[in-house]
Amino acid sequence: MTTVLISGLGLIGSSIARIIKDGDAAVTILGSDPDDDNADFLLEHQMIDSRVAFTDGAKSADVIILAGPVSVILDQIGELSRLSLKDGVLVTDVGSTKQAIMTAATRLTQKGVAFMGGHPMAGSHLTGSQNGTVNLFKNAKYFLVTGSQTERQLRDFQKLLKSANVDWITTSAQTHDKLVSELSHVPHAVAAALVNSIAEGLADDPVGLKAAAGGFKSTTRIAASNPQMWTAIMMSNSEVVSRELAAFQQQLSQLEQAIKSQDEAAIYATFAKAQKTRQSLDD
C-alpha cells in the first residue's frame, strides 16, 4: 500500500489528489497545507485521507509531492534533508522553475534520498482546492527533470498519475526554465505591466477601464493570478526571465518605431508573422 504526502493543497496539489484517487482509490493520501479551507474541503470530499503536519507526513510517506509555491518548495527540501525518511522514498515537486530546485535538491541526493523534479505545464488564474479538477493537466505537458530517482520510481510515479492523461517530457532543468520563461513567465510580466500602464494612462478618463472588451480581458487575464506565487517564480528564474524580457522589448521597440514612422510594410510584416504563428496553436 502506497502512502503519498501532498504538501500544498491549492489548485495543483488538490488536482493531483483527485488524479491519484481517480487512478487508484486504495492509495493513502496525506495532505499538508497551512490553509484550513483547502484541507477541510479535500477531507470532506474524501480526496485526501488525513491532514497532517508536513514533517509527520513526510516520515511516513513513500512518495512526497511538494506542491506549494517555489519558495516553499525550496524551504521544504531543506527541511526534508534534516529528517529521517522512509527507505525508497521518492521526493518530487511541481514547481514552475527547476534550476534552483534541482540545485537545492542535491542536499537530499547527498543523503541518498531520491529526488525528481516535475512541472505540469497547466494552471489557471483560479486558485484553491475547490477549483482543482482531475482534468487540470489533461493533454498538457508534464516535464520531468530526472535527478537521483531510479527508473522504477519514475515509472511508478507516472503510473500513480495515470488519470492525469498528460504528455510526459523528460528534459534538463536549464531547457525547462528557458521554455517556461518564454511561454509563461515573460507573458506574465508583460500582462502585469500592461495592466498597470493602461490603468495609469486611463486614470483621468471617465469611461476608462470600464470600456474594456474581450480582447483586453483575454490579453491581461493572467495578471489576475496570485502575486505571491508569481513573485516567487520570478525570484527563482530571474536571470532567464530578465534576459528574455529584454529580447521582447527589442522586438516591441522595433514595432513602436514602425508605428511611429507609419512604416506600413513593417507593421504589416510584424502582424502577419504573429498571426501565422498564433493561428498554428490550437485554442
Indicate the residue among 152 and 217 with the shorter CB distance to its own copies. Answer: 217
Q: Which runs of consecutive H residues, i.e. helices, occur in 45-185? A: 54-60, 70-81, 99-104, 106-109, 151-160, 173-180
Indicate the residue among 87 and 204 with the shorter CB distance to its own copies. Answer: 204
Indicate the residue among 88 and 201 with the shorter CB distance to its own copies. Answer: 201
Helix, strand, coil abundance in the chain, percent, nearest 5 = 55, 15, 30
Question: b or e along 56-74 (b: 16 or more beta carbons within 10 Å of the residue's beta carbon)?
Answer: ebbbebbbbbbbbbbbbbb
What is residue 265's three-state secondary structure? helix
Angle at CA of residue 217, ends 212 and 223, nearest 5°: 125
C-beta of 268: minimal distance to its own copies in Å?
A: 4
Phi, psi values for residue 124, rounded to 5°: -165, 165
C-beta of 97: minimal distance to its own copies in Å?
A: 12
Indicate the residue among 30 and 161 with the shorter CB distance to its own copies. Answer: 161
Residue 7 in contact with residue 76, Cβ under 8 Å?
yes
Crossing angle of helices 173-180 and 238-260, rounded to 10°: 30
Indicate the residue among 112 and 215 with the shorter CB distance to its own copies. Answer: 215
Q: Which value, in Å, is the radius of gyration of the alpha carbons in the chain?
A: 21
C-beta of 102: minimal distance to its own copies in Å?
A: 18
Running DSSP on this structure, what letter comes out for residue 181?
I
C-beta of 126: minimal distance to its own copies in Å?
A: 11
Separation CA 32–CA 181 (nearest Å): 29
Separation CA 230–CA 69 (nearest Å): 8
C-beta of 31: minimal distance to its own copies in Å?
A: 25
Indicate the residue among 55 and 231 with the shorter CB distance to its own copies. Answer: 231
Indicate the residue among 15 and 225 with the shorter CB distance to its own copies. Answer: 225
C-beta of 117: minimal distance to its own copies in Å?
A: 16
Separation CA 120–CA 168 (nearest Å): 9
Indicate the residue among 60 and 270 with the shorter CB distance to its own copies. Answer: 270
Half-sphere exposure of 198 (CA within 13 A, CB side): 17
Closest CA to 49 of 94, 1, 86: 1
C-beta of 214: minimal distance to its own copies in Å?
A: 7
C-beta of 74: minimal distance to its own copies in Å?
A: 13
Q: Which three cell numbers stand for residue 5?
A: 504526502
